[in-house]
Amino acid sequence: MSSPCLCGPAADDNGPMDTHFPPSDLNGAVRLAHWGVIRATGAEAASFLHGQLTQDIQNLPPGQARLAGYCSAKGRLLASFIVLRGSADELLLLCSADLLAPTLKRLSMYVLRAKCKLTDASAELAVLGLAGAPALAALGALGAGSSNDDGATQALAGMPVLAAAGGQLVRLPAVEGIDRGLWVGPAEALPAALPALDADAWDALEVRSAVPRIVAATVEQFVPQMINLELVGGVNFQKGCYPGQEVVARSQYRGTTKRRAAVFATGAAAQPGQEVFDANDPGQPAGMVINAAAGQPALALVEVKLAALAEPALRLGSAEGPALRPLPLPYPLPAGAD
């Protein structure tokens, strides 16, 4: 089957819903306290992570970042990361702070004799979200490996990492013409001169990017393909084994994926892990919220049955809940996904 249409106008139950977001003049920075940082150091740090994650970490060059997933033996995602390689023997794993501790504990169980040390660096390193060309230009981050094209998710296979303001800045793909970046560095070196960016605005950019982020409420809910992780460069199918690799590969090559991630607007705030229902088939949930952003309208990245996208009548929380209206994805879903 061809990709479902995700480009219709959004509306709530009372009529059209304004979805003209983001505004083109978005500019500033916001401290992302809900992100955490795991540091991996040692001569075998890259090879150890290569054997644990869905991404080719062994061949990740210094000065580059990639998306990656960490799966259970059943192929279900325990965490998702942006992995930065600042030097040959040090990598930083950015993930949701609410699942950092259990993820770090689980990864540490498998280090064994590998020359790799894993530590929680969140108290030492802050994460800052930047949006808008002026904000990135202030840190000297425009022009070098820029990804200004909307939906340029192929850049996620190798996002540039730049030295900036005493830390490292990852150039993220733009969202509807808005440049984005993640700055990681010592908390005392936080760039102070940048305008403040509203946290909801950053969350909305993240949702509209349709790049999924696993949080505590969604641990072990999704195989990577169910949330489009392979479509945005988070899964390498040529690398060697990792936990859950057989399940992930089988889903890919047998074409068994019946669920995908899609972006929706709604009149009520959504929460990660919240179920969604199809009013045409209300007997069981049709999907689950992956990430969400408050605002008017509220936005949600939702894992949903492909069949429910053909003629969407999706509702948040129950079959009688607030309507979910589809918004465009910044990248195409694969054809023949039925």
Mind listing the pLDDT tens digit of every residue in the chain (338 residues)?
A: 333 333 334 444 544 455 556 667 899 999 999 999 999 999 999 999 999 999 999 999 999 999 999 999 999 999 999 999 988 889 999 999 999 999 999 999 999 999 999 999 999 999 999 999 999 998 887 764 444 444 444 446 679 999 888 899 999 989 989 999 999 999 888 877 889 999 999 999 999 999 999 999 999 999 999 999 999 999 999 998 999 999 999 998 887 789 999 999 999 999 999 999 999 999 999 999 999 999 889 999 999 999 998 877 999 999 999 999 999 999 999 875 54
Q: Token digits for 12?
A: 């709530």
pLDDT at 76: 98
pLDDT at 191: 78
CA angle 232, 155, 205 (to 5 degrees): 70
pLDDT at 2: 34
Give CATH for domain 28-197: 3.30.70.1400
pLDDT at 143: 60
CB 31 within 8 A of CB 190: yes
pLDDT at 14: 43
Q: Kindly list the domain boundaries of the chain, sorted by start residue.
A: 11-22+213-326, 28-197
Give CATH for domain 11-22+213-326: 2.40.30.160
User: What is the rounded distance in angstroms from the CA atom of residue 52 to the CA atom of residue 314?
Assistant: 36
Q: Give yes or no for a cis peptide into 282 (omega within 30° of 0).
A: no
Distances (CA, A) of 21 to 202, 222, 292, 295: 11, 28, 14, 10
Closest Cα partner for 243 from 214, 223, 218, 215?
223
